Structure 1
Amino acid sequence: MLGPLAAGLVLALAAAPLTVAGAGPAAAAGSGSAAEPVGAAQGAGASVITPTPQKQTARSDSVRITSTVDVVTGASTDEASLSLVKKTLRAAGASHLAVGPKTHGHNRLAVHVGGPGENSSSAAALDALGVEGPKCLAAEGYVLAAGGAHGDSAGRVVLSGVDATGTYYAARSLEQVLPRRAHAGATVRGLTVRDWPATPVRGTIEGFYGTPWSQAARLDQMDFYGTHKMNIYVYSPKDDAYLREKWRDPYPADQLARIKQLVERATANHVEFTYALSPGLSVCYSSEEDIKALVTKLETIRDIGVRQFAVPLDDISYTDWNCDADRTRFGTGGGAAGSAQSYLLNEVNKRFIKAHEGAKPLQMVPTEYYDVTPSPYKSALSEQLDKDVLVEWTGVGVVAPTMTVAQARAAKEVFGHSILTWDNYPVNDYATDRLLLGPFNGREKGLAEQVAGITANPMIQPYASKLALSTVADYTWNDEAYDADRSYRAAVREMAGGKPDVERALRAFTDVNHSSSLNKQEAPELSSVISRYWEGKGSSRALTAALRELRDAPRVLRSSLQDKGFVEDASPWLDSARAWGTATLTALDMVEQAKAGHGAAAWAARQKLPGLVAKAKAPVYVDMKGAKIPVTVGEGVLDTFVTRALTEQGKELGLPPQPVGQSGMGVYSGNVPDRMTDGDDATYFWSGAAAAKDDWVGVDLGSDRPVDGITVEMAKSGSEDDYLHQGVLEYSSDNRTWHEVASFKDQPDVTAKAPAGTTARYVRARATADQTSWVVVREFRVTGAGTPTVTGDPPAASGSSQGAVADGNTATTYRGSRAPRQGESLRIALDRAEQVRTVTVLAPEGASGGTAASVRIRVDGEWKTLGRTDGAYTRLTAHHASTVDAVRLVWGSGASEAPVISEVIVG
């Protein structure tokens, strides 16, 4: 769905008592006031059941895992549930399972599998435990009870679902409760769980654009959904041409067999495989032939076991008909499109869905799926579409940052139908440089009461999607108990497989891939440590530990994470995270060395940073078309830390602050304002929407400084119209009072001279009219009138300049075009005479002998020698502060190589 239109729990039970309404008399009576965690093997710590059950309580009794367990079944006990229970018991240490309709001895643990409709023994077993059955629970609800009854020596466990799916979910909960032991004998604290889903339909829709999932990944997803009590998967991959372009054509046998394999795996996991056929690109709504073709195609899919169907009509034009007959019959405009779609869907509903007894409601995706604004199109659907058709809706926005109860009510009202949400999270087809690994967030509690179901659109990366999807499962099962952070911690813990080192590594990696439209803050944990460091409240040791964790996380995950699919999905992001860890550790070391007065060590670290940052930005994601997309990790946190570290060490050196890009507009796909001031024309700021009047882009110079020239280079190849089309250049010292320098119109590149004597801290380009195009700024440069003048010899080599030695930027370097001759020097004339205490000369590490020079200052017209340069870092002190108007580097005699100087800093 995010195509052309878009951009185109865990509850660990504590020792305190839990009061459970309606849990049954013995269960309530058996609740201990100081009980050990429910379901914990004695001495083994707390158990977890996820998603969080609606009601659960600890009992004062227990059950014991015996070597032989009676697994009591009924005539129609669900096979998937039984298979899972047997697997769980064996993992808990049972060596023999006696499966049948009755128990064989009081000295064995008895496990009753199946609700009233599956296994008649479960009701009596629940009565013996004093636990109420599942009769009054919602569909897919269940009761799970474990404890001792009169005459039992080992106890009994009952899994009783309202229906077969409920029993399966009880088995999934039991799987989490029982320990994993090699041998029998574990004693497990008793518990009673009464549980049911808050949201009837819960799951995912494979509806993204971009590289499709593999068959193996889809099969793996079915298992994942079953484990997490999700009950729907909507098959709508964009690579299946028989869903869209070839929707009329029958599937080749091998492709149909692959779909059948998915259906069977879904069924085994109690997941409803939903087939979504999208005819909108070519269908003639009024055509009897096309209606028959549509029904015939759906019949062939029903024949392989599919029982739920959808007809999405999203991401198509409804102003251009595919046949003249539709224009004749329905007219033109949105209302006509709504009428045409309603006619087609009603015919499918009548001829196909209602022709099969017990068929599930037809689903559809409207062309206007992303708001609650009344329109002729929505009115037509509301009035003409059969009322039992479910309408899918993405919320207010294609990617809705929030979704509220009021919005869902408005959607039901404006569409006039029950709503199934198509939630575009964690989908990343509109931001393929990102992994969106944060939790499901911004969805109001109570939303489940307003909608028929919630489906999430996953990422292009199926295995990496699991973390966010785990939290979707938690929310949709029990939104009232949902806590995004707690749910996410549990998801990370689950994927880590109980290994503390892997869990720490996974948390460090996911933290720097956390932000999205739903989760505004990037790297919340690391950001907190960084903030405390800069505020002086946290030690460098704490930050070093956090950055080392980030640096080492990719190695740990690659070697120890069991889910190798996640590692493969995340591979370029893992490479980037490791490199960013190295870069930020180097930046931190630079700052700490500077604080300690180790100038040479700090300068050596500073020189490494550009290469390390370039390495961190180098990894690419290769999409299905072969495009190489640089990945983004820790945006606004890791890069910003390096930038600030450079600024802080620059202060120690005496450098002026470096300009920082800013904007009042949103950002598209990670193209942040800092890219306007990075000196690289290939990177750019890109707004997230069209510019409106008074939107702006600009720079913060860090302090009030002389301003001479302003240059703004906008637009880029492929986006030639993305620039501020009409605006003004302005400057300010306080960010409140602005002074105009020049106006411009229809100029992608704008250059202006500031009036003589201008000083400013802030410079910006501001739009003076609304426009329809977005804004790209490649570079925003401000030159100062007070820049020192550099003259002398040797001349600069091609691509270099003598001015680089005094431009306040250590990244630029003067390189002589030849070796110096006897008596030659480089002279830096200051804009005005000033008191000087130190002169610092910086050269690249490994600079040759041609850099050696005598450093002289001119005081009252007389040159005085301060000392000589010594290697890459030289700081010379004037014993008495002197008023200096020039500095001179007099080259040593006999130099055989050209001089190389990064910066001369007078302070």
Structure 2
Amino acid sequence: MHRKRTASATALALALAVIPLTGMAGPPGATGPAGREATRDSPGAAGSGSAVSPTPQSVRSRSDRVTVTPSVTVVAAPKADAAALALVEKSLKEAGADRVVRAGRAPGGKQLTVYVDGTGAARTLRELGARGTDGLPAEGYALAVGEGRIALSGKDVTGTYYAAQSLRQLLPHRERPGAQVRGTVVRDWPATPLRGVIEGFYGTPWSHRARLDQLDFYGAHKMNLYVYSPKDDAYLREKWRDPYPAEQLTQIKELVDRARARHVEFTYALSPGLSVCYSSDADLKALTAKFQTLWDIGVRTFAVPLDDISYTDWNCAADKDTFGTGGGAAGTAQAHLLNRVNQEFIAKHPGAEPLQMVPTEYYDVKPSPYKKALATQLDGNVLVEWTGVGVIAPTMTVAQARQAREVFGHQILTWDNYPVNDYVTNRLLLGPFNGREKGLPEQLAGITANPMIQPAASKIALHTVADYAWNDRAYDARASWGAAIEELAGGDARTTRALRAFADANYSSSLNPQQAPELAAAIKEFGTSGDARRLDATLRGLQDAPAVLRDRLADRGFLDDGEPWLDATHAWGVAARTALRLIEATKAGDDAKAWQLRQRIPELVRSAKSFVYVDMTGKKIPVLVADGVLDTFVEDAVAAHDRALGITGRPKGSTDLSVYQDNAVSRMTDGDDATYFWSGAAPQAGSYVELDLHAERPLGTVTLAMAKTGSPDDYLQHGVLEYSSDHKNWQRLATFDGKAEVSVDPPAGTKARYLRARATQAQDNWLVVREFTVAGSDRTTAAGGPPAAEGSALRSAVDGDPATAYRAARAAHPGEALECTPDTPRTARSVTVLRPQGAPAGAAKVEVRTGGAWHTLGTLSGAYTRLAAGEGAIENVRLTWRAGSAAPEVNEVILH
């Protein structure tokens, strides 16, 4: 769905004609492998810290420096690119020059002279020891800085523009003249002809202003292609036959003009597949007429995507009569239509770029009748777009690209579905372009990336896409990611740190499976060193990052895009720092402080989870930030506190399945049958959901409640329940088939720490688990009063979960008591009573019964009360309330 500038149309068409299936030719005279120069001089090599991005194919430093003088002369060839000249002059002024003048030759004296194309640039390049543009492919360029001069020259006008972009990065930003610029020699060219972005996602479309801003960004990063394919533009899909309203066509023309000014080819992608009749002359005429209206406003590149449609159902009876049925018939029909468009429109419009198409089978390399029909019948100069192996391909290899070229029989332009997030709208995907093998661009006509719904937030990932597509051999994903962050932060150190922390917390995707790698490493290091101050500094940086960005980041669009994620980041930072303090208080044995902190955490977590992204339909979708890292850290801190109190707490759920939207695995252990875990994919053989009981204990009834209203078949169709004490050796508890509700009583005396439900066969349906629970034999029951308020229960005081609380419906009557009885008498060193912060002292007398007799241990002292239990096995614990006191509340009564 993407293509290149008109100025290089001839070069591209020639490239498509001569590129063999085994690889793309490099610049003539190249001596290194894969058509690249044999050496990469510092600092252009990967990781060398070059100031130019994308990293040039060849760049070396000179020993001298050039001074930006008050007056600078630009000597340009008569037909030098106007956009390149404007950029050179603007960059010189931003570097401190007071006056930039154009002249036919260099003036005398010591003032800086800049040569742009022509004989002056060629001569200066030679004198500065730089090779010129001979032998470079389209868009290549040469640039040299030294001896009081700067020279830049492009293989074509776009190459000159890219040379100007590189010079822009080499020059400093100064308010006055006198800056020193290091002598540098660059010879550069792209690894693949086409590099760009396809606005092809579902969901809230980009604004017109955002699209203009994106085109500026692409030009600055040497991306030469933008494909206009927003799914919400009805005139591209449902109303593809209808002409555009004048106002909308005017906006598209403005995009076309901006793209041309930035040396970006605007590609118009019309998607008729929902209703087209492939054999219809009328539909062909409607399609080419639509293209003509776009041609008239300057579009020179066209695409016909035929993705996300059915090819088993024809839109007209004539197609069935003409082509037959099945995948091969669909391929034949599509080739028939596209060939007519290619021959009757593209070929008859001089200057048009090669036609592009997206096949219906765009996501694999498996031979099929459909692909065979395209390979054998589609005109050879049509570009075929391909997403890799999978709609969202975690990796993409040279071998796969070769297979794609072979099976489709055409040059391949990748439609890479990264960083697109329309399938995970609860996430920002701010990690780098990853998992793409070096050497891949040589196998391709080009690389295009499908961005996020959030345009400005897409810039971090798109920066890395541009780096890879231009020079994959030098590409380092982490280094490129860091450079993208620094650029977006404007080079400001504090803003860069804040943006890096935020991007790290929104890092993971199919291409980057590890979430928040830097934060996760800091938490892991804390687990080893115990240095709480160091981790707190990291968490404080994360907590404060949103405020820093809102105060200092120049790209306000990024702040608009990331608003709910910024809010959630701050809230999770507060929750995590509170959890860290809980860990430290627990370690120090400061029980009262630990309980005070523990009580704050549920509300902090609720706040962190409360922020939502509102999609174009008005649906509110809770956002995720550093999920699996921050939430796990908080959960682990609470679990450690539970262990210190002597309780196991609520079991912790886990799974190897992806999660659909916000239906987290924790929902299957929250005690609420109305909430549920919902997988984001169908279970395969071996897929599982699991419970960690935190400690080995006797097992009571195990219950697995799956499926839900509206998804009655979303359960493990064939599975097994298993248990383990060490997470290595698993014992079978029961098998089940075709049952959404499973309940099993383990043999008496069965003990375990872990339980899991594992699929024994692959299935098509996803998995819903409403509740996964296990009863224990060492239970404590509660009785007495006052009666519980609505929504509460007496048992909450002894359920092993301090996050739940028994709340009385009224004040206590004289002699009224809450009595807690373990299943069997239990020896304990202490009795602990946890109550809400601010609970009054003296509200109840604490008694235990041992040997059939009651003994008073003391009175409640506040939110946290711990009393020595005395001798003997405890048969009961009783809290006898003081008459007239406020309605009692108890989070937990613990024997430990």
Q: Do both proteins adopt the same fold according to a TM-score greater than 0.5, normalized to the shorter chain?
A: yes
Q: Give the stretch that moved more between structures: 649-658 or 492-501.
A: 649-658
Query: How far apart are 1:384 and its partner, in Å?
Result: 0.5
Query: How far apart are 1:610 and its partner, in Å?
Result: 0.8
Q: 1:800 aligns with which of 792, 807, 815?
A: 792
In the alignment, residue 904 of structure 1 is paired with which amino acid?
V
- 1-side partners of 2:100 and 2:278: how far apart? 58
Tell me, yes or no, if the aligned pair for 1:853 and 1:889 is still in contact at 8 Å: no
Query: How far apart are 1:796 and its partner, in Å?
Result: 2.9
Query: How far apart are 1:740 and its partner, in Å?
Result: 5.3
Partner of 2:326: 333
Partner of 2:15: none
Map residues 814-833 of structure 1 onto 2, 5 A cutoff.
814-833=806-825
SS in 1 for 2:202: coil
Query: How far apart are 1:732 and its partner, in Å?
Result: 3.8
Q: 1:861 aligns with which of 852, 856, 875?
A: 852
Partner of 1:141: 140
SS in 2 for 1:241: coil
Query: How far apart are 1:680 and its partner, in Å?
Result: 4.0
SS in 2 for 1:226: helix
Structure 1 stretches of at least 4 aligned residues deviating more than 6 Å after TM superposition: none
Tell me, yes or no, if the aligned pair for 1:141 and 1:163 is still in contact at 8 Å: yes
Tell me, yes or no, if the aligned pair for 1:577 and 1:633 is still in contact at 8 Å: yes
Partner of 1:52: 55
Partner of 2:12: none
Tell me, yes or no, if the aligned pair for 1:823 and 1:890 is still in contact at 8 Å: no
SS in 1 for 2:743: strand
Name the CA shift for 1:92/1:734 in 2 (closer, same or farther; >3 Å): closer
- 1-side partners of 2:421 and 2:817: how far apart? 57
SS in 2 for 1:646: helix
The answer as to 2:400 corresponding to 1:401 is no
Partner of 1:11: none
Q: Give the stretch that moved more between structures: 51-60 or 722-731.
A: 722-731
The answer as to 2:894 corresponding to 1:905 is yes
Q: 2:882 aligns with which of 893, 896, 905?
A: 893
Q: 2:338 aligns with which of 345, 351, 361?
A: 345
Name the CA shift for 1:357/1:736 in 2 (closer, same or farther; >3 Å): same
Deviation string, structure 1 residues 714-756 (Cα, Å, up to 9, x no partner): 2234433212234444444444665555555544333343344
Map residues 232-271 of structure 1 onto 2, 5 A cutoff.
232-271=225-264
Query: How far apart are 1:760 and its partner, in Å?
Result: 2.4
Tell me, yes or no, if the aligned pair for 2:840 and 2:861 is still in contact at 8 Å: no
Map residues 208-357 of structure 1 onto 2, 5 A cutoff.
208-357=201-350
In the alignment, residue 485 of structure 1 is paired with which amino acid?
R
Tell me, yes or no, if the aligned pair for 1:47 and 1:177 is still in contact at 8 Å: no
Map residues 462-477 of structure 1 onto 2, 5 A cutoff.
462-477=455-470
In the alignment, residue 142 of structure 2 is paired with which amino acid?
V
Query: How far apart are 1:802 and its partner, in Å?
Result: 2.1
SS in 1 for 2:667: helix
The answer as to 2:409 corresponding to 1:416 is yes
Partner of 1:106: 109
Partner of 2:598: 606
Deviation string, structure 1 residues 411-467 (Cα, Å, up to 9, x no partner): 001001110000000000000001000000000000011111000000000000000
Tell me, yes or no, if the aligned pair for 1:833 and 1:883 is still in contact at 8 Å: no
Partner of 2:365: 372
Query: How far apart are 1:877 and its partner, in Å?
Result: 2.3
User: Which blocks of at least 5 consecutive residues in structure 2 are unaligned?
Assistant: 2-28, 32-38
SS in 1 for 2:52: coil
- 2-side partners of 1:240 and 1:703: how far apart? 56
User: Which blocks of at least 5 consecutive residues in structure 1 are unaligned?
Assistant: 2-20, 24-30, 39-44, 149-154
Partner of 2:832: 840
Name the CA shift for 1:606/1:334 in 2 (closer, same or farther; >3 Å): same
Query: How far apart are 1:654 and its partner, in Å?
Result: 1.4
SS in 1 for 2:825: strand
Map residues 96-175 of structure 1 onto 2, 5 A cutoff.
96-114=99-117, 119-148=118-147, 155-175=148-168
Tell me, yes or no, if the aligned pair for 1:529 and 1:538 is still in contact at 8 Å: no
Query: How far apart are 1:602 and its partner, in Å?
Result: 0.9
- 2-side partners of 1:600 and 1:87: how far apart? 64
Name the CA shift for 1:201/1:560 in 2 (closer, same or farther; >3 Å): same
Partner of 1:26: none
Q: 1:562 aligns with which of 529, 540, 554?
A: 554
In the alignment, residue 853 of structure 2 is paired with which amino acid?
E
Name the CA shift for 1:201/1:46 in 2 (closer, same or farther; >3 Å): closer
Partner of 1:876: 867
Q: 1:182 aligns with which of 150, 175, 188?
A: 175
TM-score, length-scaled by structure 1: 0.91
- 2-side partners of 1:769 and 1:842: how far apart? 46
The answer as to 2:766 corresponding to 1:789 is no
Q: 1:571 aligns with which of 554, 563, 587?
A: 563
Tell me, yes or no, if the aligned pair for 2:674 and 2:770 is still in contact at 8 Å: yes
- 2-side partners of 1:717 and 1:228: how far apart? 49
Partner of 1:71: 74
Name the CA shift for 1:246/1:793 in 2 (closer, same or farther; >3 Å): closer
The answer as to 2:713 corresponding to 1:721 is yes
Number of residue pairs matched by the alignment: 858
Query: How far apart are 1:231 and its partner, in Å?
Result: 0.4
Partner of 1:8: none
Partner of 2:612: 620
SS in 2 for 1:812: coil
- 2-side partners of 1:469 and 1:543: how far apart? 31
Tell me, yes or no, if the aligned pair for 2:622 and 2:662 is still in contact at 8 Å: no
TM-score, length-scaled by structure 2: 0.93
Tell me, yes or no, if the aligned pair for 1:436 and 1:515 is still in contact at 8 Å: yes
Query: How far apart are 1:378 and its partner, in Å?
Result: 0.2
SS in 2 for 1:772: coil
Tell me, yes or no, if the aligned pair for 1:47 and 1:176 is still in contact at 8 Å: no
Q: CA RMSD in A?
A: 2.2
Query: How far apart are 1:862 and its partner, in Å?
Result: 2.9
Tell me, yes or no, if the aligned pair for 1:71 and 1:111 is still in contact at 8 Å: yes
SS in 2 for 1:242: coil
Q: Give the stretch that moved more between structures: 463-472 or 885-894.
A: 885-894
In the alignment, residue 72 of structure 1 is paired with which amino acid?
V
Deviation string, structure 1 residues 792-833 (Cα, Å, up to 9, x no partner): 333333332222222211012122333333333322222333
Name the CA shift for 1:736/1:498 in 2 (closer, same or farther; >3 Å): closer
Query: How far apart are 1:47 and its partner, in Å?
Result: 6.4
Partner of 2:638: 646
Name the % identity.
59
Partner of 1:92: 95
Tell me, yes or no, if the aligned pair for 2:125 and 2:143 is still in contact at 8 Å: no
Query: How far apart are 1:670 and its partner, in Å?
Result: 5.3
Tell me, yes or no, if the aligned pair for 1:657 and 1:703 is still in contact at 8 Å: no
Tell me, yes or no, if the aligned pair for 2:825 and 2:874 is still in contact at 8 Å: yes
SS in 1 for 2:456: coil
Q: 1:385 aligns with which of 378, 387, 390?
A: 378
- 2-side partners of 1:540 and 1:182: how far apart? 44
- 1-side partners of 2:317 and 2:138: how far apart? 47
Map residues 441-590 of structure 1 onto 2, 5 A cutoff.
441-535=434-528, 537-590=529-582
Tell me, yes or no, if the aligned pair for 2:828 and 2:874 is still in contact at 8 Å: no
Tell me, yes or no, if the aligned pair for 2:365 and 2:400 is still in contact at 8 Å: yes
Query: How far apart are 1:172 and its partner, in Å?
Result: 0.5
Tell me, yes or no, if the aligned pair for 2:463 and 2:484 is still in contact at 8 Å: yes
Name the CA shift for 1:816/1:203 in 2 (closer, same or farther; >3 Å): same
SS in 1 for 2:135: coil
- 1-side partners of 2:666 and 2:793: how far apart? 25
Q: 1:437 aligns with which of 430, 449, 453?
A: 430
Query: How far apart are 1:204 and its partner, in Å?
Result: 0.3
Q: 2:583 aligns with which of 584, 591, 594?
A: 591
Q: Give the stretch that moved more between structures: 276-285 or 656-665.
A: 656-665
Query: How far apart are 1:250 and its partner, in Å?
Result: 1.6
Name the CA shift for 1:200/1:683 in 2 (closer, same or farther; >3 Å): farther
